[in-house]
Amino acid sequence: MNEARPTFLLDGEEVPFAPGQTIAQAALAAGRYVPHLCYHPEFKPHGSCKLCTVKADGRWITSCTTPAQAGLQVESNTDEINAKRRLLVQMLFVEGNHFCPSCEKSGNCRLQAVAYDLGMVSTQFDHFYPDRPVDASHPDILLDFNRCILCELCVRASSEVDGKGVFALSGRGITKHLIVNSESERLADTDIAVTDKAMDVCPVGVILRKRVGFAVPIGQRRFDAQPISAQALRDAPRPLDRRPNGAE
C-alpha cells in the first residue's frame, strides 16, 4: 500500500508533492495553476521572470525554484499577488516592442496569453520603444530581438537539447540582451535548424519561421481555443489518474 505523500497548503487547499518537486511543479501536477513565463518542464527552473512569485509563510518567493515543504502555507491566487503579476507583465510589454495586432506570434504568444489571463487590458507605463536589430540573414528563420523578455529558454534549449549553443545573453542590468553565438553575430553563420528545440520554446515572437506568419486565422490559434491557465494544467506532468477532464 502506497504511503500518503506530504502536502502543503495552496490558497487554503492541500497540494501533495513528491520529493524534489518545487511548489509550482507540485501545484501544476495537482491541477492548480500558478502563472509563469520562463518555467518550462523540460528545463531546470531558474526564476528569471518572477511571474510565479507567491507568498510562502509570509515570505515572497519564486514558486518555480522553491522546493515544496510539508506544512508550508502558500498564497498565490490573491488580489494582491495578481496585481503585482499584472505590473510585471505590463513592464515586460513596455520594455520591448510588443504590439500584438502586428505580431506574427499573436494568438500563440505566452506573454499575450498571460496578460489576458491576468486581466491586463492596458499598461500604465510609458513604452521604451527599444531599437534592437532584426536578423533576417538565415534563409528559414527570422530573429526579432525587440520582443525578447530574457527568459533564457532558447539559450538553454540550444545548449542542453540541441547541443549547439546558438544563443547567449550578454550585458548586465538594463543592458542585458540576447545575442547570436557566432563571430559575425549573424544567425546565418550558425548551425541552427528549423527542427531544433530552440525554435519552439520562445514564449514570445523572437524566433520565427519564415514564410508561415499569419497562416492560422484568428479563432484557430493556440490561445484562442483555451486560455493559458487551462493549457498549462492540461500539459503539466502528472499521474494519469490525476489528469483534468479532456486530457489524454
* Domain identity same for 215 and 169: yes
User: Which pLDDT does position 46 carry in this prediction?
Assistant: 87
User: Which pLDDT does position 238 carry in this prediction?
Assistant: 61
Phi, psi of 7 (to 5 degrees): -135, 160
Q: Number of structural domains, the chain?
A: 2
pTM over 0.75? The answer is: yes
Q: Of 30, 53, 77, which residue constitutes the final position of a domain?
A: 77
The Cα–Cα gap between 132 and 123 comes to 21
* Domain identity same for 141 and 204: yes
User: pLDDT of 16-32, one tens digit each?
Assistant: 999 999 999 999 999 99
**Cell 499521474, residue located:** 239
User: Which pLDDT does position 167 carry in this prediction?
Assistant: 98
User: pLDDT of 99-121, one tens digit each?
Assistant: 999 999 999 999 999 999 999 98
User: Which pLDDT does position 242 carry in this prediction?
Assistant: 46
User: pLDDT of 155-206, one tens digit each?
Assistant: 999 999 999 999 999 999 888 999 999 999 999 999 999 999 999 999 999 9
User: pLDDT of 209-245, one tens digit each?
Assistant: 999 999 999 899 999 989 999 999 988 876 544 444 4
User: Domain limits at 172?
Assistant: 84-225
* Domain identity same for 163 and 44: no
User: Which pLDDT does position 133 carry in this prediction?
Assistant: 86
The two beta strands, 141-144 and 59-62, are: unpaired
C-alpha of 34 from chain center: 11
**Cell 520582443, residue located:** 147
Please report whether residue 244 resides in a domain: no
* Domain identity same for 65 and 88: no
* Domain identity same for 94 and 171: yes
- For residue 8, list its beta bridge partners: 15
* Domain identity same for 15 and 71: yes
* Domain identity same for 173 and 123: yes
User: pLDDT of 42-98, one tens digit each?
Assistant: 999 989 999 999 999 999 999 999 999 999 999 999 999 999 999 999 999 999 999
Please report whether residue 212 resides in a domain: yes
Neighbours of 231 (CB within 10 A): 16
* Domain identity same for 138 and 204: yes
Please report whether residue 56 resides in a domain: yes
User: Per-residue pLDDT for 247 more than 60?
Assistant: no
* Domain identity same for 64 and 187: no
User: Which pLDDT does position 237 carry in this prediction?
Assistant: 76
Please report whether residue 247 resides in a domain: no
* Domain identity same for 40 and 101: no
User: Which pLDDT does position 187 carry in this prediction?
Assistant: 98
User: Which pLDDT does position 113 carry in this prediction?
Assistant: 97
Residues 6+ apart with CB under 8 A from 59: none
